[in-house]
A and B are shown apart, each in its own frame.
Chain A
Amino acid sequence: PGVCRAGTPCRGLCSEAESGSPKIKKPTFMDEEVQSILIKMTGLDLLKIFKPAIRETKPPTYKLMTQAQLEEATRQAIEAAKVRLKMPPVLEERTPINDVLAEDKILEGTETVKYVFTDISYSIPHRERFIVVREPSGTLRKASWEERDRMIQIYFPKEGRRVLTPVIFREENLQTMYSQDRHVDVLNLCVAQFEPDSADYIKIHHQTYEDIDKYGKYDLLRSTRHFGGMAWYFVNKKKIDGLLIDQIQRDLVDDATSLVQLYHILHPDGQSAQEAKEQAAEGLQLIKVFAKTEAQKGAYIELTLQAYQEAFISSSAAS
Protein backbone atom coordinates (compact mmCIF):
# COMPACT_ATOMS: atom_id res chain seq x y z
CA PRO A 1 0.00 0.00 0.00
CA GLY A 2 1.18 3.51 -0.68
CA VAL A 3 3.53 5.40 -2.91
CA CYS A 4 7.26 4.85 -3.22
CA ARG A 5 9.47 7.56 -1.80
CA ALA A 6 9.90 10.72 -3.81
CA GLY A 7 13.22 12.46 -3.82
CA THR A 8 15.42 9.69 -5.26
CA PRO A 9 17.43 11.41 -7.99
CA CYS A 10 17.78 9.64 -11.34
CA ARG A 11 21.32 8.56 -11.99
CA GLY A 12 22.77 8.45 -15.48
CA LEU A 13 20.05 10.53 -17.13
CA CYS A 14 20.99 13.88 -18.63
CA SER A 15 18.89 16.82 -17.56
CA GLU A 16 18.40 19.93 -19.65
CA ALA A 17 20.51 23.01 -18.93
CA GLU A 18 18.68 25.63 -16.92
CA SER A 19 19.56 28.57 -19.14
CA GLY A 20 20.76 28.88 -22.70
CA SER A 21 19.67 26.64 -25.55
CA PRO A 22 17.37 23.85 -24.34
CA LYS A 23 18.74 21.31 -26.81
CA ILE A 24 22.23 20.99 -25.26
CA LYS A 25 22.26 18.17 -22.67
CA LYS A 26 24.31 18.95 -19.57
CA PRO A 27 26.75 16.08 -19.03
CA THR A 28 26.46 14.26 -15.70
CA PHE A 29 29.06 12.39 -13.66
CA MET A 30 27.95 9.03 -15.03
CA ASP A 31 28.39 9.75 -18.77
CA GLU A 32 30.73 7.31 -20.51
CA GLU A 33 32.87 10.08 -21.98
CA VAL A 34 33.29 11.80 -18.63
CA GLN A 35 33.96 8.50 -16.84
CA SER A 36 36.63 7.46 -19.37
CA ILE A 37 38.46 10.79 -18.96
CA LEU A 38 38.30 10.56 -15.16
CA ILE A 39 39.49 6.93 -15.10
CA LYS A 40 42.46 7.82 -17.32
CA MET A 41 43.39 10.70 -15.01
CA THR A 42 43.16 8.56 -11.88
CA GLY A 43 46.10 6.49 -12.97
CA LEU A 44 46.87 2.91 -11.97
CA ASP A 45 49.71 2.88 -9.44
CA LEU A 46 49.53 -0.76 -8.28
CA LEU A 47 51.93 -0.22 -5.39
CA LYS A 48 49.71 2.49 -3.93
CA ILE A 49 46.39 0.70 -4.55
CA PHE A 50 47.51 -2.53 -2.88
CA LYS A 51 49.36 -0.77 -0.08
CA PRO A 52 49.36 -2.97 3.05
CA ALA A 53 46.37 -2.10 5.22
CA ILE A 54 46.55 -2.28 9.00
CA ARG A 55 45.40 -5.77 9.94
CA GLU A 56 46.71 -8.91 11.65
CA THR A 57 50.20 -9.61 10.40
CA LYS A 58 51.30 -12.93 8.98
CA PRO A 59 54.67 -13.73 7.46
CA PRO A 60 54.93 -12.79 3.76
CA THR A 61 54.70 -15.50 1.07
CA TYR A 62 57.25 -15.71 -1.69
CA LYS A 63 56.53 -17.35 -5.04
CA LEU A 64 58.94 -18.36 -7.78
CA MET A 65 57.50 -17.47 -11.19
CA THR A 66 58.50 -17.49 -14.82
CA GLN A 67 58.20 -14.31 -16.88
CA ALA A 68 54.87 -15.47 -18.37
CA GLN A 69 53.44 -16.25 -14.92
CA LEU A 70 54.58 -12.86 -13.66
CA GLU A 71 52.81 -11.13 -16.54
CA GLU A 72 49.68 -13.17 -15.86
CA ALA A 73 49.81 -12.20 -12.16
CA THR A 74 50.27 -8.52 -13.06
CA ARG A 75 47.29 -8.70 -15.41
CA GLN A 76 45.11 -10.20 -12.67
CA ALA A 77 46.33 -7.51 -10.26
CA ILE A 78 45.33 -4.82 -12.76
CA GLU A 79 41.84 -6.35 -13.02
CA ALA A 80 41.50 -6.36 -9.22
CA ALA A 81 42.80 -2.78 -9.07
CA LYS A 82 40.16 -1.61 -11.56
CA VAL A 83 37.47 -3.06 -9.29
CA ARG A 84 38.96 -1.20 -6.33
CA LEU A 85 39.04 2.04 -8.31
CA LYS A 86 35.28 2.06 -9.00
CA MET A 87 34.16 5.61 -8.21
CA PRO A 88 31.50 6.30 -5.57
CA PRO A 89 28.52 8.12 -7.12
CA VAL A 90 28.20 11.90 -7.14
CA LEU A 91 24.56 12.84 -6.59
CA GLU A 92 22.72 16.03 -5.78
CA GLU A 93 21.61 16.76 -2.25
CA ARG A 94 18.34 15.08 -1.32
CA THR A 95 15.27 17.20 -0.61
CA PRO A 96 14.04 16.91 3.01
CA ILE A 97 10.86 14.91 3.66
CA ASN A 98 8.04 16.91 5.21
CA ASP A 99 5.02 14.73 4.50
CA VAL A 100 2.29 14.57 7.11
CA LEU A 101 0.14 11.49 6.57
CA ALA A 102 -2.62 12.19 9.10
CA GLU A 103 -3.52 14.62 11.84
CA ASP A 104 -5.52 12.84 14.51
CA LYS A 105 -6.55 15.25 17.24
CA ILE A 106 -8.21 12.35 19.10
CA LEU A 107 -4.81 10.98 20.06
CA GLU A 108 -3.45 14.25 21.43
CA GLY A 109 -2.23 13.82 24.99
CA THR A 110 -2.69 10.06 25.06
CA GLU A 111 1.03 9.41 24.67
CA THR A 112 4.05 11.23 26.07
CA VAL A 113 6.69 9.90 23.70
CA LYS A 114 7.13 9.61 19.96
CA TYR A 115 6.47 6.22 18.40
CA VAL A 116 8.59 5.23 15.42
CA PHE A 117 7.14 2.44 13.23
CA THR A 118 9.46 0.73 10.77
CA ASP A 119 8.46 -1.81 8.15
CA ILE A 120 11.02 -4.63 8.13
CA SER A 121 9.71 -6.68 5.23
CA TYR A 122 12.76 -8.18 3.61
CA SER A 123 11.85 -7.74 -0.04
CA ILE A 124 11.45 -3.96 -0.09
CA PRO A 125 14.43 -1.78 -1.15
CA HIS A 126 15.58 0.55 1.61
CA ARG A 127 14.56 3.68 -0.28
CA GLU A 128 10.92 2.59 -0.43
CA ARG A 129 10.55 1.43 3.15
CA PHE A 130 7.78 2.89 5.33
CA ILE A 131 9.24 4.60 8.36
CA VAL A 132 6.60 6.62 10.13
CA VAL A 133 6.55 8.66 13.35
CA ARG A 134 3.51 9.26 15.55
CA GLU A 135 4.09 12.44 17.58
CA PRO A 136 2.54 13.01 21.05
CA SER A 137 0.47 15.75 19.46
CA GLY A 138 -1.24 13.15 17.30
CA THR A 139 0.31 13.87 13.89
CA LEU A 140 1.45 10.90 11.83
CA ARG A 141 4.40 11.98 9.69
CA LYS A 142 7.00 10.31 7.53
CA ALA A 143 10.42 10.09 9.19
CA SER A 144 13.14 12.50 8.07
CA TRP A 145 16.17 11.25 6.14
CA GLU A 146 18.42 11.12 9.23
CA GLU A 147 15.82 9.14 11.19
CA ARG A 148 15.38 6.79 8.22
CA ASP A 149 19.13 6.13 7.95
CA ARG A 150 19.34 5.47 11.71
CA MET A 151 16.40 3.04 11.72
CA ILE A 152 17.62 1.18 8.65
CA GLN A 153 21.05 0.83 10.26
CA ILE A 154 19.46 -0.52 13.48
CA TYR A 155 17.36 -3.18 11.78
CA PHE A 156 19.54 -3.93 8.74
CA PRO A 157 23.05 -3.23 9.93
CA LYS A 158 25.62 -2.53 7.22
CA GLU A 159 29.27 -3.25 7.84
CA GLY A 160 31.38 -0.21 8.67
CA ARG A 161 28.39 2.02 9.40
CA ARG A 162 27.59 3.25 12.92
CA VAL A 163 24.09 4.16 14.08
CA LEU A 164 25.08 7.53 15.55
CA THR A 165 27.48 9.75 13.58
CA PRO A 166 31.08 9.04 14.65
CA VAL A 167 33.00 11.74 16.49
CA ILE A 168 35.61 11.90 13.73
CA PHE A 169 33.31 13.92 11.49
CA ARG A 170 33.35 16.95 13.77
CA GLU A 171 35.22 20.08 12.67
CA GLU A 172 38.21 19.87 15.02
CA ASN A 173 38.84 16.19 14.37
CA LEU A 174 38.58 16.66 10.60
CA GLN A 175 41.20 19.41 10.80
CA THR A 176 43.51 17.05 12.70
CA MET A 177 43.06 14.41 10.02
CA TYR A 178 43.82 16.94 7.27
CA SER A 179 46.98 18.08 9.02
CA GLN A 180 48.12 14.46 9.14
CA ASP A 181 47.50 14.10 5.37
CA ARG A 182 44.84 11.41 5.89
CA HIS A 183 42.28 12.71 3.41
CA VAL A 184 41.85 9.25 1.85
CA ASP A 185 40.87 7.76 5.23
CA VAL A 186 38.38 10.58 5.83
CA LEU A 187 36.75 10.01 2.45
CA ASN A 188 36.60 6.23 2.89
CA LEU A 189 34.93 6.59 6.30
CA CYS A 190 32.51 9.11 4.83
CA VAL A 191 31.53 6.74 1.98
CA ALA A 192 30.96 3.92 4.50
CA GLN A 193 28.93 6.01 6.95
CA PHE A 194 26.63 8.26 4.90
CA GLU A 195 24.33 7.83 1.92
CA PRO A 196 25.75 9.43 -1.28
CA ASP A 197 23.01 12.01 -1.50
CA SER A 198 22.93 13.09 2.15
CA ALA A 199 23.92 16.61 3.12
CA ASP A 200 26.71 15.44 5.45
CA TYR A 201 28.37 13.31 2.75
CA ILE A 202 28.42 16.17 0.22
CA LYS A 203 29.58 18.72 2.81
CA ILE A 204 32.48 16.58 4.03
CA HIS A 205 33.57 15.74 0.50
CA HIS A 206 33.55 19.41 -0.53
CA GLN A 207 35.48 20.36 2.60
CA THR A 208 38.14 17.71 1.89
CA TYR A 209 38.51 18.83 -1.73
CA GLU A 210 38.84 22.48 -0.65
CA ASP A 211 41.54 21.57 1.85
CA ILE A 212 43.45 19.60 -0.82
CA ASP A 213 43.18 22.55 -3.19
CA LYS A 214 44.43 25.00 -0.54
CA TYR A 215 47.61 23.04 0.13
CA GLY A 216 48.06 21.48 -3.32
CA LYS A 217 48.02 17.88 -2.05
CA TYR A 218 46.47 16.42 -5.20
CA ASP A 219 48.84 13.49 -5.27
CA LEU A 220 47.26 12.01 -2.12
CA LEU A 221 44.17 11.02 -4.08
CA ARG A 222 45.93 10.14 -7.33
CA SER A 223 45.46 6.34 -7.51
CA THR A 224 42.37 6.14 -5.32
CA ARG A 225 38.71 5.95 -6.25
CA HIS A 226 38.09 9.50 -5.01
CA PHE A 227 40.18 11.22 -7.70
CA GLY A 228 37.32 11.28 -10.22
CA GLY A 229 34.97 12.93 -7.74
CA MET A 230 37.60 15.53 -6.89
CA ALA A 231 38.28 16.37 -10.56
CA TRP A 232 34.51 16.60 -11.21
CA TYR A 233 34.09 19.01 -8.25
CA PHE A 234 36.91 21.27 -9.44
CA VAL A 235 35.68 21.35 -13.03
CA ASN A 236 32.19 22.28 -11.84
CA LYS A 237 33.57 25.06 -9.65
CA LYS A 238 35.99 26.19 -12.39
CA LYS A 239 39.01 25.84 -10.08
CA ILE A 240 41.21 23.48 -12.09
CA ASP A 241 44.34 25.69 -12.08
CA GLY A 242 46.03 24.08 -9.07
CA LEU A 243 45.36 20.59 -10.42
CA LEU A 244 46.69 21.55 -13.88
CA ILE A 245 49.91 22.97 -12.43
CA ASP A 246 50.42 19.85 -10.31
CA GLN A 247 49.90 17.56 -13.31
CA ILE A 248 52.33 19.50 -15.55
CA GLN A 249 54.96 19.53 -12.80
CA ARG A 250 54.71 15.75 -12.55
CA ASP A 251 55.06 15.37 -16.36
CA LEU A 252 51.45 14.16 -16.80
CA VAL A 253 50.70 16.40 -19.77
CA ASP A 254 48.18 13.95 -21.28
CA ASP A 255 46.14 14.10 -18.08
CA ALA A 256 46.33 17.91 -18.16
CA THR A 257 44.97 18.02 -21.74
CA SER A 258 42.16 15.60 -20.89
CA LEU A 259 41.27 17.78 -17.87
CA VAL A 260 40.98 20.84 -20.11
CA GLN A 261 38.90 18.77 -22.58
CA LEU A 262 36.55 17.80 -19.71
CA TYR A 263 36.30 21.47 -18.78
CA HIS A 264 35.28 22.29 -22.35
CA ILE A 265 32.67 19.51 -22.37
CA LEU A 266 31.09 20.90 -19.21
CA HIS A 267 31.32 24.60 -20.05
CA PRO A 268 30.95 24.76 -23.84
CA ASP A 269 29.71 28.36 -23.72
CA GLY A 270 32.91 29.66 -22.16
CA GLN A 271 35.58 31.72 -23.84
CA SER A 272 38.32 29.07 -23.84
CA ALA A 273 36.06 26.41 -25.36
CA GLN A 274 35.09 28.60 -28.29
CA GLU A 275 38.66 29.77 -28.94
CA ALA A 276 39.90 26.19 -28.81
CA LYS A 277 37.26 25.17 -31.38
CA GLU A 278 38.32 28.03 -33.68
CA GLN A 279 41.98 27.18 -33.47
CA ALA A 280 41.35 23.40 -33.43
CA ALA A 281 43.98 23.21 -30.70
CA GLU A 282 45.62 19.96 -29.62
CA GLY A 283 47.75 18.99 -26.64
CA LEU A 284 49.91 21.74 -25.15
CA GLN A 285 48.25 24.33 -27.39
CA LEU A 286 44.92 23.53 -25.70
CA ILE A 287 46.38 24.22 -22.26
CA LYS A 288 47.89 27.49 -23.48
CA VAL A 289 44.53 28.63 -24.87
CA PHE A 290 42.88 27.83 -21.55
CA ALA A 291 45.64 29.60 -19.57
CA LYS A 292 45.23 32.75 -21.66
CA THR A 293 41.44 32.96 -21.52
CA GLU A 294 39.72 31.56 -18.47
CA ALA A 295 42.30 30.59 -15.85
CA GLN A 296 42.77 32.54 -12.61
CA LYS A 297 46.46 31.63 -12.33
CA GLY A 298 47.15 31.88 -16.08
CA ALA A 299 50.68 33.24 -15.55
CA TYR A 300 51.64 30.32 -13.29
CA ILE A 301 50.35 27.78 -15.80
CA GLU A 302 52.31 29.36 -18.66
CA LEU A 303 55.48 29.46 -16.53
CA THR A 304 55.18 25.77 -15.60
CA LEU A 305 54.47 24.89 -19.24
CA GLN A 306 57.60 26.79 -20.30
CA ALA A 307 59.71 25.05 -17.64
CA TYR A 308 58.32 21.66 -18.72
CA GLN A 309 59.08 22.35 -22.39
CA GLU A 310 62.65 23.44 -21.61
CA ALA A 311 63.19 20.33 -19.46
CA PHE A 312 61.73 18.17 -22.25
CA ILE A 313 63.96 19.73 -24.89
CA SER A 314 67.10 19.48 -22.76
CA SER A 315 66.40 15.82 -21.84
CA SER A 316 65.71 14.87 -25.47
CA ALA A 317 68.87 16.72 -26.51
CA ALA A 318 70.91 14.93 -23.85
CA SER A 319 69.61 11.45 -24.80
Chain B
Amino acid sequence: MVQLTPVLYKAYHGGHLTIRLALGGCTKWPFHHIVASPNKCPTDGHFMEQLGSYDPLSSSYGKKLIALNLDQIWHCIGCGAHLSKPVEKLLEVLLAAQKTDTEATETRELTSVNIAVGTRLKSS
Protein backbone atom coordinates (compact mmCIF):
# COMPACT_ATOMS: atom_id res chain seq x y z
CA MET B 1 0.00 0.00 0.00
CA VAL B 2 1.49 3.34 -1.03
CA GLN B 3 1.62 5.86 1.79
CA LEU B 4 0.71 9.19 0.26
CA THR B 5 2.76 12.09 1.56
CA PRO B 6 1.15 15.54 1.77
CA VAL B 7 3.10 16.50 -1.37
CA LEU B 8 1.12 14.06 -3.47
CA TYR B 9 -2.32 15.08 -2.14
CA LYS B 10 -2.21 18.11 -4.41
CA ALA B 11 -2.56 15.72 -7.37
CA TYR B 12 -6.17 15.13 -6.29
CA HIS B 13 -8.42 17.88 -7.60
CA GLY B 14 -12.09 18.40 -6.95
CA GLY B 15 -12.72 15.47 -4.68
CA HIS B 16 -15.17 15.45 -1.79
CA LEU B 17 -15.31 13.77 1.59
CA THR B 18 -17.05 10.38 1.55
CA ILE B 19 -18.13 8.13 4.38
CA ARG B 20 -17.49 4.60 3.20
CA LEU B 21 -16.49 1.11 4.27
CA ALA B 22 -12.75 0.37 4.25
CA LEU B 23 -12.17 -3.37 3.87
CA GLY B 24 -9.62 -5.01 6.15
CA GLY B 25 -9.21 -8.37 7.86
CA CYS B 26 -7.91 -11.62 6.35
CA THR B 27 -8.88 -13.99 3.54
CA LYS B 28 -12.41 -15.34 4.10
CA TRP B 29 -12.72 -12.98 7.13
CA PRO B 30 -13.76 -9.49 6.04
CA PHE B 31 -14.00 -6.60 8.48
CA HIS B 32 -14.91 -3.05 7.52
CA HIS B 33 -13.98 0.24 9.14
CA ILE B 34 -16.49 3.03 8.58
CA VAL B 35 -14.24 5.85 7.53
CA ALA B 36 -14.47 9.46 6.31
CA SER B 37 -11.92 9.91 3.54
CA PRO B 38 -11.42 11.95 0.35
CA ASN B 39 -13.20 10.59 -2.67
CA LYS B 40 -10.11 10.03 -4.80
CA CYS B 41 -8.08 8.07 -2.25
CA PRO B 42 -8.06 4.26 -2.43
CA THR B 43 -10.72 2.70 -0.18
CA ASP B 44 -8.34 1.27 2.34
CA GLY B 45 -5.83 4.10 2.09
CA HIS B 46 -5.46 7.40 3.86
CA PHE B 47 -8.54 8.66 5.70
CA MET B 48 -9.52 11.77 7.63
CA GLU B 49 -11.07 9.99 10.58
CA GLN B 50 -12.51 6.64 11.57
CA LEU B 51 -16.18 6.78 12.37
CA GLY B 52 -16.90 3.21 13.41
CA SER B 53 -16.75 -0.38 12.26
CA TYR B 54 -18.92 -3.02 10.62
CA ASP B 55 -18.45 -6.72 11.29
CA PRO B 56 -20.32 -8.67 8.57
CA LEU B 57 -19.35 -12.08 9.98
CA SER B 58 -22.41 -12.87 12.03
CA SER B 59 -20.87 -16.12 13.20
CA SER B 60 -19.02 -14.30 15.99
CA TYR B 61 -22.10 -13.60 18.11
CA GLY B 62 -24.92 -14.55 15.76
CA LYS B 63 -25.35 -10.84 15.09
CA LYS B 64 -23.77 -8.28 12.80
CA LEU B 65 -22.07 -5.66 14.92
CA ILE B 66 -22.03 -2.06 13.74
CA ALA B 67 -20.43 0.75 15.72
CA LEU B 68 -21.18 4.34 14.74
CA ASN B 69 -19.60 7.47 16.21
CA LEU B 70 -22.79 9.46 15.78
CA ASP B 71 -21.35 12.80 16.96
CA GLN B 72 -18.66 12.73 14.31
CA ILE B 73 -20.95 11.37 11.58
CA TRP B 74 -23.37 14.25 12.03
CA HIS B 75 -20.41 16.65 12.02
CA CYS B 76 -19.00 15.19 8.77
CA ILE B 77 -22.38 15.20 7.05
CA GLY B 78 -22.77 18.76 8.22
CA CYS B 79 -19.43 19.57 6.57
CA GLY B 80 -20.80 18.12 3.36
CA ALA B 81 -19.67 14.50 3.25
CA HIS B 82 -21.32 12.05 0.89
CA LEU B 83 -22.29 8.49 1.80
CA SER B 84 -21.36 5.44 -0.21
CA LYS B 85 -23.96 2.83 -1.22
CA PRO B 86 -23.10 0.17 1.42
CA VAL B 87 -23.12 2.79 4.20
CA GLU B 88 -26.50 3.98 2.95
CA LYS B 89 -27.79 0.39 3.12
CA LEU B 90 -26.58 0.04 6.71
CA LEU B 91 -28.27 3.25 7.73
CA GLU B 92 -31.43 2.08 5.96
CA VAL B 93 -31.48 -0.97 8.23
CA LEU B 94 -31.06 1.29 11.24
CA LEU B 95 -33.59 3.93 10.24
CA ALA B 96 -36.02 1.68 8.30
CA ALA B 97 -35.60 4.00 5.33
CA GLN B 98 -36.72 1.52 2.65
CA LYS B 99 -39.60 3.76 1.98
CA THR B 100 -41.51 1.87 -0.68
CA ASP B 101 -42.83 -1.64 -0.57
CA THR B 102 -41.26 -2.44 -3.95
CA GLU B 103 -37.74 -1.78 -2.64
CA ALA B 104 -38.45 -3.98 0.38
CA THR B 105 -39.85 -6.83 -1.74
CA GLU B 106 -36.77 -6.66 -4.00
CA THR B 107 -34.44 -7.05 -0.99
CA ARG B 108 -36.66 -9.82 0.36
CA GLU B 109 -36.40 -11.77 -2.90
CA LEU B 110 -32.66 -11.27 -2.97
CA THR B 111 -32.29 -12.55 0.61
CA SER B 112 -34.46 -15.60 -0.05
CA VAL B 113 -32.38 -16.38 -3.17
CA ASN B 114 -29.23 -16.07 -1.06
CA ILE B 115 -30.68 -18.37 1.59
CA ALA B 116 -31.64 -20.95 -1.07
CA VAL B 117 -28.18 -20.84 -2.63
CA GLY B 118 -26.60 -21.15 0.78
CA THR B 119 -28.64 -24.21 1.79
CA ARG B 120 -27.98 -25.85 -1.57
CA LEU B 121 -24.23 -25.30 -1.14
CA LYS B 122 -24.32 -26.71 2.40
CA SER B 123 -26.27 -29.81 1.42
CA SER B 124 -24.10 -30.59 -1.63
Are chains A and B native binding partners rather than an unrelated pairing?
yes
By a beta-carbon cutoff of 8 Å, the part of chain A in contact with chain B is: 102, 104, 106-107, 109-123, 130, 132-134, 138, 140, 150-151, 154-155
Q: Is B5 among interface residues, defined by CB-CB distance under 8 A? A: no
How far in angstroms is the closest Cβ of chain B from A148? 13
Say yes or no: A120-B69 contact (C-beta < 8 A), given A107-B104, A114-B62, A134-B94: yes
A112 near B62 (CB under 8 angstroms)? Answer: no
Q: Is B64 among interface residues, defined by CB-CB distance under 8 A? A: yes
B94 near A132 (CB under 8 angstroms)? Answer: yes
Partner of A115, one of B64, B71, B107, B108: B64
Beta-carbon contacts of B58-99 to A below 8 Å, as 1s and 0s?
Answer: 100111111111111000000000000000000001101010
A122 to B69 alpha-carbon distance, docked (Å): 8
A120 to B107 alpha-carbon distance, docked (Å): 29
Q: Which residues of B lie under 8 Å from residue A134 when comparing CB positions? A: 93-94
Beta-carbon contacts of B94-124 to A below 8 Å, as 1s and 0s?
Answer: 1010100100100110011011000000000
B104 near A110 (CB under 8 angstroms)? Answer: yes
Q: Which residues of B lie under 8 Å from residue A114 when comparing CB positions? A: 58, 62-64
A113 near B63 (CB under 8 angstroms)? Answer: yes
State the majority secondary structure of interface residues on A. mixed
A118 near B66 (CB under 8 angstroms)? Answer: yes
B69 near A113 (CB under 8 angstroms)? Answer: no
Say yes or no: A107-B96 contact (C-beta < 8 A), given A112-B111, A113-B64: yes
A106 near B96 (CB under 8 angstroms)? Answer: yes
A121 near B111 (CB under 8 angstroms)? Answer: no
A106 near B68 (CB under 8 angstroms)? Answer: no
A111 to B112 alpha-carbon distance, docked (Å): 9
A151 to B70 alpha-carbon distance, docked (Å): 16
B111 near A155 (CB under 8 angstroms)? Answer: no
By a beta-carbon cutoff of 8 Å, the part of chain B in contact with chain A is: 52, 58, 61-72, 93-94, 96, 98, 101, 104, 107-108, 111-112, 114-115
Which partner residue on chain A sits nearest B51 by CB separation? A120
How far in angstroms is the closest Cβ of chain B from A111? 7
Q: Which residues of A lie under 8 Å from residue B115 when comparing CB positions? A: 112
A110 near B94 (CB under 8 angstroms)? Answer: no
B96 near A113 (CB under 8 angstroms)? Answer: no
A115 to B65 alpha-carbon distance, docked (Å): 6
B98 near A110 (CB under 8 angstroms)? Answer: yes
B66 near A107 (CB under 8 angstroms)? Answer: no
Partner of B64, one of A104, A116, A130, A154: A116
A116 to B63 alpha-carbon distance, docked (Å): 7
A133 near B63 (CB under 8 angstroms)? Answer: yes
How far in angstroms is the closest Cβ of chain A from B107? 4
Q: Which residues of B lie under 8 Å from residue A104 when comparing CB positions? A: 96
How far in angstroms is the closest Cβ of chain A from B64? 5
A121 near B65 (CB under 8 angstroms)? Answer: no
Q: Which residues of A lie under 8 Å from residue B94 when comparing CB positions? A: 115, 117, 132, 134, 140
Can you list 19 contacts pairing A with B, beta carbon distance less than 8 Å? Answer: A107-B96, A110-B108, A110-B111, A112-B111, A112-B114, A112-B115, A113-B62, A113-B64, A114-B58, A114-B62, A115-B64, A116-B65, A118-B68, A119-B70, A120-B68, A121-B69, A122-B71, A132-B94, A133-B63
